[in-house]
Structure 1
C-alpha cells in the first residue's frame, strides 16, 4: 500500500469511504498503486472561487488593454488568456496536492463532468430541475420566478426575468435563488460530500428522492454554489478550457491514456506522478477497454471536394475510398474467447461517448446475458480469431422494406430484438456495420494502413446477414467520382459520404483530413433555393438567448384566396431553419416583425397554421411564437433534397435547410405555395434521373488497384496485411539514412513507426542501428537508456524529430522541383549537439533565433521570437513594449489572441486589377488582402485556381470583369463581402455581395 496512506488523517480516511464505498480494499487490489489523500478534500466552493471564476475572467473578450495588463489577484499579468488559464489550473492542482494529496479524481470528475463515465446519467434536464427547485424554494408554480425558470429560453418579457440570462438556464436559476437563499455565505460542503450526493442522485429515478437530495443541497449551499452544481449536473461547464487542457496539465500522457481507456479514474490514479511515463504497449488500445475513436473532419474546414480529394491522394497512388455515412450510433465491439462464458465468447460494446451497451447488445452468445445482437452472431468470425476489436456503426434495419431507418428507432428496435429468441426475419432490428479492425489476435493494428486493416477485417470477419456486416466502400481516383455517389445516397435519404485515405493509420480521438465527411449541405448547385414565408419562431440558448434563433417556414395553401376565404393566409408547416444567419440578418428580421409575434397557445392554436400531427391532435415542431404571414417576411433558403417526415404538415420537409438571404423585395403572397413547390420537386426528380445516368458512366471508369507491399502474417490467423508504409511519395530525403531511436514528444506526439513511415515516404532509408556513415541522421526526442549511452560516447549529433517535419513542411511551401534539406538549428532541432558543431549550427539563425532558411511555423513560434527581439526606438532604446503592441492591435479592432485565423483557411482569393488611377480601390484591396491572409487564406496571383475573385464595385467594373475566367466553384464578390465576413466573424452568403 502506498506510503501516503499511513500519513492520512481520520477525515481523509472517512471521506474515502464516503466516496468509494466500503470496498476500498477491492479498489486497492485493482489499482495497487493508486494515490490516497492525506487530508480532507477542499470545500466545494473552492472549485469556482479558485478555478472556474478566475478562468472565466481570464477568458473575457473585449476587455480594455489596460485591464489585461494590470496585475490581477491571481498574478497572471501580461499573459494571453490561454496562458493565464493554464496558470490558474496549474496553481489549483498544486494547491490540491499540497493541502489534500495526490488523489485528484474527486475534483477532476466535477471539473470535466462530461467525461466522467463512472457516474451514470442523472436523467434530469432543465425543466425537471426547474420543477425540483420550485418545490425546494416553495415558490408558487404560477409565479413569474417559477415561469422564468421553466421557460428559461424565453426573453426578458416576464417581469422578473433578465434578458441577459435568456437561454442560460443556470444563470436564470441564480436570479431566482439569489432572492431567497438559506445561506448567504459559501457553504461547508466538501468536494467529497458533493460527489457522494451526486452518486445518489444518479442512482435514483424517483422524483421524491431527487427532491430530497436537492433540498439538502439547497440547505447547505449558497446561490452561486447551486448555480455551479446545476452546470455540473447538466454537464455544461463552459469555463473556457477543454478536457485536453486539463489532462495535459495533469500529466503529459494523460490524454493518451484517456484516449485508449475513456476512464478518468485510471488517468488520475495511474498517472498522479508526472515523472512516471507510459511506454510501449501502455499507449495502445487494449481489449475490453473503451477507447476514443478517430473522427472524420468537416468539409467546411478543408474546402471544396477537389481539395479534399487532393489531400487524400499521393503522387504514387491517387486512390481514395468512398463510404456511405450511416445514420446510426458509432459503436466499438470487443470480443475475446472465454471458455467459462456461455457460448465460449465474451463481448463488449461501447458508444463514441463511452457508454457501455453490453446490457443491450449482449455480453455472451447464449444465456441470460445474450443480447439483441450477440445471440445471432456466433458464426460471424473466422474460427482462428481468438480476440478482436471492431469499429463501426450500429444502425436500425427494417426487414419489411429491406433498408436502413432513422437513428431514433435504434433503442426501441434493440429492446424488441433482445426478446426475439426465435430470430424472426420481420420488423426492425439493430445491424452492426463494421468499417475498421483495430486489434486482432493480440496485435494492435492502429499503426497499420487502412488498406491493411481492411484486409485483416475481410479475413477475420465472415459476417451474418443483416446482423453484423462489413460496410462496403468504393475505390475512386478522381474528385469527379464523388458527386455522383453523393447524389445517389441523398436519393436514398442517407446522411452523406465519408472519404478516406487508404494509406493512413488510425489516430485515436482525432479529427484529421485522412477521413472527411461530405454532406449535401456543402455541395454547390445541389438542391433548390426556395422562397418561403416565416410562420413561427424558436428562442435560442447561450449567446442566442432571448431572441429567435431559428424559424418555422410554411407553404401557402391557396395564393388566390380572398380575405373572407378560410384559406386566406393559411399555411402548412414545411421546414425549420436556423443555420446561415448573421447578426445583421437576425436584426433585419427582428426589425421587420417587431411587435407582431404572438405566443403559441397549445390549447388554442392559430387556425391559419397547421402543424404536423394535426390529425392526432398533436403539434409537432411547435414554435414558441407564431406570426401571421401578412405580417411576416420571406426567406430564401437552400437545401440538399426533400425527405419524408411526419413532423411537418406537408408530410415532407427539406433535408439540411440553410438560410441564404432575406427577400425584402417579395411580399408574403409572393412566397411559395404548395402547388408551386410540387412543380419544383418534379423538376428536381427529373434532373436526378439524368445524374443517375452520369453516375453509371463514372462507375465504368473505376480502376482496380492492388497493394505492392510485402504482407505480414498475424499469428493464429491466415489474414495478411502490409506495413503502415505505402510507398514513397517524394525524394526529399533520398540518399540519407535515419536511425530513429524514440518517438516524437514535442510539439505533437508521433510514434517511432509513424516517423519511420514518414521518412520512407519521402525517399529516406531507415536503419535500426547506428554507424559512422556521414549520411546517417540519428533521431531522438526522449532520454532513454540507449540515447544516453550514445550521448556519453560524444561521437555523433542527435536530431529532434521536428527537423523531419520542418523539412517536409518547407519543401511543400517552396514547391521547388529540387529537394532542399533544411540546415540544423541548434536550439530547435538538436537533441544532442557536439561542441565542435555548436557555432556552425548557431549561425543558421539570426541573433533573435529566426531561421535564415525556414519559414516561421505558427503564431506560437512568432510569439516566442518576439520575446527575443529588442526594438530600437527613435527617442530612446528600450525593450520591445509588448503591451503597447497589443494596445495598437486593439485600436485597430483586433487582438493577437482573437484573430479569426481560420475563417478563410480554405480559400484562394484573386483580386482583380482596378483602374490605375483609382487609388481608393488600391488601398481597399490591400486591406482586403490583409484580411484574407490574417484569416488563413491565400492571395492568389492568377485567376486560375482561385476560389473567389474580388472585383471593384460599380457597373463599369461589372462590364469589365464579368468575363473573368474562373473555374470550378469560384465566386465573384466585392470587397463588401470580405469586410462583412470579418465583422461577423463568420462567412456570410456570397451571392448578396456580387459586384459590390
Structure 2
C-alpha cells in the first residue's frame, strides 16, 4: 500500500526533496489514530499514576533474582513497542506520529490560535446544545465546578469535553481516521482563523471519532499531553542522536527524516548549531540555598576564581540569526525565535530595510562591518521611554506591534529592546565549545550597543559569595526578576539546565515584617488537580475612613495582589469552611464597586477580575510574605507584591484589623528608608571589583584547561597498567572537565596519553560527538567508553577495599559511547535481559530515576539536620538505629525530594533543623546556630510530612517546636 502521509503542494514537495533527498518513505498506510491512545497514551498515563519505588528496593542477587520492573523501564518498554510496531507495519517515516505525540515540539505546523473557550464554543455548535444548558455551561466555564460534573473533570478541559461528548456520541466504537488524515485536518485548522471555517473541521472529527479520541485530539490541539514521558525519552528511543539533532534544529521533521536508521550516527558537522536553524537554548539551574554553594559550583581554579553576576531580565528569551546575501533586500536577512521556537521574525523584522519591523530597521549600525553572519542569544524586553525603565513581560507583544506602526521613531511610549548576553556563531564558526569569557569577547568585538534598541547586557565580575547579596538587594530595590550567576569558564550546553548558569531569585523580604495581613476579596478556580475549587485568591487593602467617599461602605477594599502558593489542603478547607455560601459570581456588567475596586483605567476597572467575590466583612484575613513590592496597573493600588506566598490563616483578626491603605503606605516608607541604610552598609567597593587585570588570556576551548587544584577523591590502583586517552568532559553522573577526569584517572593508577595508539591497554574516553570522536568512530578500530565507567570502577574498587585488577566489565548501554561490532556479543553478556550488571552494585541512577521530574521535588533547596535522641547502651547495632523511626522516614522523604541531609550541626549550608519528641537539646542547638548570618529554621518533622503530602513547601511558622 502507498504511503498516505500529508500531501503538500508541488513547490513544497520540490523543497522537501531538495532538503531531504534521502527522506524515508513509508511502505504502508499510517496506523489508525485510535492506536495512539490505546497502545501508547493510555498505557503511559496509567504507568505515570502508579507510585514509584526507590531503586535500592529493586537490587538483584543474580540473573534470575529480578523483581517487577520500575516505572521508568515500563515507560521505555511501552514506547519501544509502539515504535517497533510502526517500523514493522508502516515504515521508517515516524514523523506523522511523532508530531502528534509531541505536539508542543512541532514547529512545522502553525499555531491554531485556539484556547479552551474557543474550542468550547465550537463544540457547543457541533453538538447542537444550548450554551445555557448544563453541558453548554460546563464547556464554556470549564474551570468552574459543573452542576453534576465529577471532581476529576473540573479544571480539566479535555476531560470536561469527554464528559459532554460521551453523552451524545456519533460513534460508540473507535473511529476510522488514520494518523495521516488527522494531520491533514490539523494542517487545515492551523491556517484558519474564523469560527465558520473551523466549524466543518470539528464536525468531521466529531463524526469520525468517539469521545475518547476527541479528548486526546483536543489535548493535541491545546499542546497539553502530559502522558508521563518527556520528549527526551521519545527521541532517545527513536535514535541515539535524535536529542542532539533536535537541540540544534528544533525540528521533529529533520529528526525523523535524517535519523531514521539507528546504525547511521550523526556526524560532528550536523551536531553543531547552524544559521537559520532554531536551536534549544541553554537554561539556568534553580537557586541553591547557600550563596557559598553557588560560588563553589562555578568551579573556580587557583588562578581564576571569578564568576559573573547578571540581572535576570523579565522578558522573553530570544535568539537572533543574521546572514549576509547579495540577493537579500538590505544585504542581510534576519530570523528571530523564542525559547519555545516560535518564529517572531514577522514582528521584529527580516531585514534592515523592513519598514514595519519593530527592531531591525533601527539596528543597522549595531554590527561591525566585518560581520558576515552571526547568532546572538538574549532577552527581548519592554522599555518605557517615558519613565526610562523596563516594564513587565506581559506588555512585550503590544509594545512591538505599536512600534511597528511608529514610522517616525519618536522617543516616547513603550518599545521592544533586545538585550544580548551571548554570541554563539560568528562568520561561519560555531562558538558553543568556547568558554563564556571568549564568547563575550567575540560579542563585544562584533556588536556596538544601540541604546534602547539593541544593547549588550552588562555583568558584574565577582570573586566571593559575599558579593552576591548586595547585588541581589539592588535588583530587588529596582523591582527586577533576580540574578543569574554564570561561570566564565563554561561552554554553552544546548537544552541543558546545569550549574554553569544558576538563577537566583530574591528571598522573601523582611523589611515589612514577617508577613502582611490582608483580607481576601476574590477567588479564582484552578485547573488540574485543583480543578473545580478555588485555588488562588485576590487580596485587598482596606480603605481607611479618611479615604472613604460619601456614600461608600466602610468595608470597601482596593485590589492589591493574587496569591496561590503555600496553601495546604487543610488551609483550603479552612478558608472554605469560614466563607461557604458567601461567595458571589463576578458579573462584569455589574461589578460590586461599592465593596471592591479592581485595577485598570477609571472607566473600566476590571483588571485581574476574579471568578467570584466576597464582602470583606464576610471574609477571612490571611498572612502572606513576598519578595518585593512593584509598580503595576493590574491592581487598584497601582502596586502589587512580587512572589507572594501564603503563611497562615489569621482567624484571630477580622477585616477591620486587616492592613489598610494608609498603614501600608506608612510601612512602605519606613521599609524604603531601612533598605537604603542597608544598601549603604553593603555597598561593594567599586575600585576593588574593577581593578584592572592586565594579563590577556588566549582563546580557550572549554574542557582543555589544565587544573592546578589537587584531586581530592579516592585513590586506588584500579587502573594500573592502562593508558587513558580522554577526549571530552564528563556529562554524567556528574559534570567534570577533561582535565579533572585526567586527574581522577591518574590518581587511580592510569597513564594519561594525548593520542590514540594500537596498544591493547589503551582506553579512549568520550561523552560528546566532537570532531575527533566522530573521526575515531568512522575509523572503527577502537571502542569508545563513557566517563561514567571511570566513576563506576572507582566506586566499586573503593567498596572492595581498593583491590587491583577488579575492573568492571563494560555494560553496552551504560558504559559504551561507541562499540565495535566484534565486541557487541561479548559486552551483551555482561548484563542481564534488563541491561543490569551482574557484578556492579545497583544505584538509583541505573534505573533513570529523575527526581527533578517528580511533583514532590520540593526539597531541592533544603539541607536538614536531624536532631535524634541519644541512645544509651553498648550494642553497636542498636546504636545505628534511630530512637525515633519517624525521623528516618523524614530523612528519606527529604532525600527523595531532592534535598540533602547532614549529621554536622556546624554545616553552614543547613536550612532547617528537624527535632523529634526529645526537645532537651533545643537550647544548645539555638546557641550553636545563633551566630550565623542566615539562621536555619527549627521545625518539627511534621513540616516535612505535610509538605510532602501537599507537594509544596509549607510555611515553617506553623511547625515550630513548643
Task: Name the TM tier (shorter chain).
Answer: 0.7 to 0.9
**Is the Cα contact below 8 Å between 2:314 and 2:381 reproduced in 1?**
yes
Q: Find the partner of 1:731 among 686, 691, 710.
A: 710
Q: 1:861 to 1:212 in 2, by over 3 A?
A: closer
Q: Find the partner of 2:242 among 248, 254, 274.
A: 254
**Is the Cα contact below 8 Å between 2:600 and 2:633 reproduced in 1?**
yes
Q: Is 1:548 aligned to 2:503, yes or no?
A: no
3-state SS in 2 of match to 1:164: coil
**Is the Cα contact below 8 Å between 1:909 and 1:949 reproduced in 2?**
yes
Deviations 1:15-45 (A, max 9, x none): 3453566742432122100011112211111
**Is the Cα contact below 8 Å between 2:422 and 2:439 reproduced in 1?**
yes
Q: 1:729 to 1:234 in 2, by over 3 A?
A: farther
Match of 2:403 in 1: 417
**1:896, 1:645 → 2: CA distance?**
37
Deviations 1:200-219 (A, max 9, x none): 11101111001121112222
How much has 1:354 moved relative to structure 2? 0.9
Q: Is 1:827 aligned to 2:810, yes or no?
A: yes
Q: Find the partner of 1:138 among 123, 128, 131.
A: 128
3-state SS in 2 of match to 1:981: helix
Match of 1:651 in 2: 638
Match of 2:458 in 1: 472
Q: Find the partner of 1:353 among 331, 340, 343.
A: 340
**2:182, 2:421 → 1: CA distance?**
42
How much has 1:645 moved relative to structure 2? 1.7
3-state SS in 2 of match to 1:826: coil
Match of 1:909 in 2: 864
**1:615, 1:803 → 2: CA distance?**
67
Moved more, 703-712 or 482-491: 703-712
Match of 1:716 in 2: none
Match of 1:870 in 2: none
Match of 2:674 in 1: 687
How much has 1:568 moved relative to structure 2? 2.8
Q: 1:644 to 1:807 in 2, by over 3 A?
A: farther
Q: 1:95 to 1:744 in 2, by over 3 A?
A: farther
CA-based RMSD: 4.0
How much has 1:551 moved relative to structure 2? 0.6
Deviations 1:164-222 (A, max 9, x none): 20000011111111111122222211111111111111101111001121112222222
Q: 1:525 to 1:79 in 2, by over 3 A?
A: farther
**Is the Cα contact below 8 Å between 1:521 and 1:657 reproduced in 2?**
no
Match of 2:202 in 1: 214
Q: Find the partner of 1:938 among 895, 901, 915.
A: 901
**2:68, 2:11 → 1: CA distance?**
49
**1:650, 1:183 → 2: CA distance?**
54
How much has 1:698 moved relative to structure 2? 4.5
Tell me the number of residue pairs that the alignment of Structure 1 and Structure 2 aligns: 909
**Is the Cα contact below 8 Å between 2:868 and 2:882 reproduced in 1?**
no
**1:225, 1:453 → 2: CA distance?**
49
Match of 1:81 in 2: 71
Deviations 1:236-279 (A, max 9, x none): 11111111111111111111101000011001111111111102
**Is the Cα contact below 8 Å between 2:727 and 2:738 reproduced in 1?**
no
**2:634, 2:386 → 1: CA distance?**
23
**2:22, 2:654 → 1: CA distance?**
73
How much has 1:661 moved relative to structure 2? 1.6
**2:313, 2:803 → 1: CA distance?**
44
Q: 1:466 to 1:603 in 2, by over 3 A?
A: closer
**Is the Cα contact below 8 Å between 1:294 and 1:506 reproduced in 2?**
yes
**1:633, 1:226 → 2: CA distance?**
42
1:307-456 to 2 correspondences below 5 Å: 307-316=293-302, 317-366=304-353, 371-456=357-442
How much has 1:708 moved relative to structure 2? 6.4
1:514-525 to 2 correspondences below 5 Å: 514-521=500-507
Q: Find the partner of 1:168 among 147, 156, 162.
A: 156
How much has 1:772 moved relative to structure 2? 9.5
1:394-793 to 2 correspondences below 5 Å: 394-521=380-507, 529-558=515-544, 566-606=552-592, 607-613=594-600, 615-702=602-689, 704=691, 706=693, 711-712=698-699, 724-728=703-707, 730-732=709-711, 740=725, 755=738, 759=742, 767-770=753-756, 778-779=764-765, 786=776
**2:602, 2:99 → 1: CA distance?**
47
User: TM-score when scaled to structure 2?
Assistant: 0.86
**Is the Cα contact below 8 Å between 2:486 and 2:502 reproduced in 1?**
yes
User: TM-score when scaled to structure 1?
Assistant: 0.83
Match of 1:108 in 2: 98
3-state SS in 2 of match to 1:123: coil
Q: 1:647 to 1:450 in 2, by over 3 A?
A: same
**Is the Cα contact below 8 Å between 1:503 and 1:726 reproduced in 2?**
no
**Is the Cα contact below 8 Å between 1:45 and 1:187 reproduced in 2?**
yes
Q: Is 1:950 aligned to 2:936, yes or no?
A: no
**1:548, 1:233 → 2: CA distance?**
26
Match of 1:57 in 2: 46
Unaligned runs of 5+ in 2: 59-65, 831-835, 874-880
Deviations 1:378-424 (A, max 9, x none): 22122222221110111122333222222233223323333444443
**2:219, 2:636 → 1: CA distance?**
37
Q: 1:108 to 1:774 in 2, by over 3 A?
A: closer
Q: Find the partner of 1:33 among 3, 19, 22.
A: 22
Q: Find the partner of 1:983 among 946, 949, 955.
A: 949
How much has 1:547 moved relative to structure 2? 0.8
Q: 1:185 to 1:803 in 2, by over 3 A?
A: closer
**1:234, 1:88 → 2: CA distance?**
24
**Is the Cα contact below 8 Å between 2:314 and 2:480 reproduced in 1?**
yes
Match of 1:268 in 2: 256
**1:688, 1:594 → 2: CA distance?**
41
**1:429, 1:810 → 2: CA distance?**
59
Q: 1:18 to 1:934 in 2, by over 3 A?
A: closer
Q: 1:150 to 1:382 in 2, by over 3 A?
A: same
Match of 1:235 in 2: 223
3-state SS in 1 of match to 2:364: coil
Unaligned runs of 5+ in 1: 1-8, 70-75, 713-720, 865-894
Deviations 1:754-802 (A, max 9, x none): 646753799899744246999976436799785798968xxxx986422
Which has the bigger relative contact order, CA under 8 A and spacing at least 6? 2
Deviations 1:569-618 (A, max 9, x none): 22221110011112222222223323332222333333222222372133
1:836-851 to 2 correspondences below 5 Å: none
**Is the Cα contact below 8 Å between 1:558 and 1:567 reproduced in 2?**
no
**Is the Cα contact below 8 Å between 1:644 and 1:653 reproduced in 2?**
yes
Q: 1:948 to 1:559 in 2, by over 3 A?
A: farther
**1:377, 1:821 → 2: CA distance?**
64
3-state SS in 2 of match to 1:165: coil
Moved more, 250-259 or 977-986: 977-986
**Is the Cα contact below 8 Å between 1:741 and 1:787 reproduced in 2?**
no
**Is the Cα contact below 8 Å between 1:729 and 1:762 reproduced in 2?**
no
Moved more, 773-782 or 225-234: 773-782
Deviations 1:935-966 (A, max 9, x none): 44223233342322233458866556543435
Q: 1:754 to 1:446 in 2, by over 3 A?
A: farther
**1:614, 1:396 → 2: CA distance?**
21
Moved more, 212-221 or 931-940: 931-940
**1:925, 1:49 → 2: CA distance?**
43
How much has 1:857 moved relative to structure 2? 7.9
